């Protein structure tokens, strides 16, 4: 596979990601039943739950119509995540990194492996969330395992972004900029994992910075290839 072909596949996956994101925005929002802060996306609050109290802040402390609706809504999100979002974002990142494989094989392979492990952790995270949906009122094995799955997923996605950012350009000035942005994303993710109650809602922003860099790299590479013809 040539670098240009890899960039094309990556850009196609990026377009699918935008379609999925647009579709999700149009869906009914999940309403928290407890004391969850209004600016904390419920799906992220579920991922960063660390105690029964955190679960009650999202689902309420008693069964009822609100809890059932929240469980069903987040279940639909996790199902879509498993069937569509994880494979699409994995393809987006991996194809973008494959484009750099001929010139930077060691770093590109490391970034690809990191992304694959992160995607696997994302699937395991969803297994934890599906199991927790029926165990909201007492500590459980799944609540114990969830932080490990969440931590591996977010941290490795951010680290893969740092490695990928170093591949995006050969110009030192631009490389410093892209690496600096990716490191900023890594710091955001680290803060989200260390203090999830305050910063967990920003985890998507940290990883999103890296994904934007990959998207720009895909567009720039294809544009440069078109101009070279």
The pLDDT, as a whole number, for residue 227 is: 45
Please say whether the beta carbons of 179 and 165 come within 8 A. Answer: yes
Mean pLDDT of all residues in 105-128: 94
DSSP 99-125: TTTTT-HHHHHHHHHHHHHHHHHHHHH
Say if pTM beats, i.e. exceeds, 0.85: yes
Alpha-carbon distance of 17 to 167, in angstroms, equals 22
The pLDDT, as a whole number, for residue 103 is: 80
Checking if the pLDDT of 144 tops 90, the result is: yes
pLDDT tens column, 177-210: 888 888 899 999 999 999 999 999 999 999 998 8
Q: Identify which of 98, 142, 134 has the alpha carbon closest to the alpha carbon of residue 116.
A: 98
What residues does each domain of the chain span? 3-222
For 147, counting Cβ atoms within 10 Å of its Cβ (0-12 exposed, 13-18 middle, 19+ buried), the class is middle
Please say whether the beta carbons of 92 and 211 come within 8 A. Answer: yes
Mean pLDDT of all residues in 72-88: 95
Six-digit token string for 56: 């009650």
pLDDT tens column, 38-68: 889 999 999 999 999 999 999 999 999 999 9
Q: How many beta carbons lie within 10 A of that of residue 215, not counting itself?
A: 19
- C-alpha dist (Å) from residue 90 to 27, 131, 179, 186: 23, 24, 20, 18
Mean pLDDT of all residues in 208-213: 88
Q: Which helix (H) or strand (E) holds 203?
A: helix 203-228
Checking if the pLDDT of 226 tops 80, the result is: no
pLDDT tens column, 3-45: 889 989 999 999 999 999 888 888 888 999 988 988 899 999 9
For 141, counting Cβ atoms within 10 Å of its Cβ (0-12 exposed, 13-18 middle, 19+ buried), the class is exposed
Checking if the pLDDT of 76 tops 80, the result is: yes
Give the HSE-up count for residue 13: Cα atoms under 13 Å, Cβ half-sphere: 24
Q: Which helix (H) or strand (E) holds 199?
A: helix 196-199
Please say whether the beta carbons of 190 and 140 come within 8 A. Answer: no
The pLDDT, as a whole number, for residue 89 is: 96
Is residue 228 very low, low, confident or very high in pLDDT (cuts 50, 70, 90)? very low
Please say whether the beta carbons of 15 and 222 come within 8 A. Answer: no
The pLDDT, as a whole number, for residue 171 is: 58
For 109, counting Cβ atoms within 10 Å of its Cβ (0-12 exposed, 13-18 middle, 19+ buried), the class is middle
Residue found under tokens 């809602």:
201
Residue found under tokens 């498993």:
82
């Amino acid at each position: 596979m040539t670098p240009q072909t890899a960039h094309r596949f990556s850009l196609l996956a990026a377009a699918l990601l935008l379609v999925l994101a647009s579709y999700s925005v149009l869906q009914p929002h999940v309403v928290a039943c407890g004391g969850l802060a209004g600016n904390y996306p419920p799906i992220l609050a579920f991922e960063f739950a660390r105690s029964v109290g955190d679960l009650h802040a999202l689902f309420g402390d008693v069964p009822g119509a609100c809890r059932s609706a929240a469980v069903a809504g987040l279940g639909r999100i996790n199902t879509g995540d498993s069937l569509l979002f994880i494979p699409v974002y994995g393809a987006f990142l991996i194809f973008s990194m494959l484009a750099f494989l001929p010139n930077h094989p060691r770093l590109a392979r490391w970034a690809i492996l990191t992304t694959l492990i992160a995607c696997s952790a994302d699937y395991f995270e969803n297994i934890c969330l599906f199991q927790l949906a029926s165990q909201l009122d007492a500590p459980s094995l799944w609540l114990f395992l969830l932080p490990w799955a969440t931590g591996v997923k977010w941290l490795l996605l951010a680290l893969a972004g740092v490695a990928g950012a170093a591949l995006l350009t050969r110009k030192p000035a631009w490389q410093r900029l892209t690496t600096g942005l990716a490191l900023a994303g890594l710091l955001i993710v680290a803060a989200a994992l260390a203090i999830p109650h305050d910063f967990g809602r920003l985890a998507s922003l940290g990883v999103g910075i890296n994904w934007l860099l990959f998207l720009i790299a895909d567009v720039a590479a294809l544009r440069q290839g078109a101009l070279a013809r």
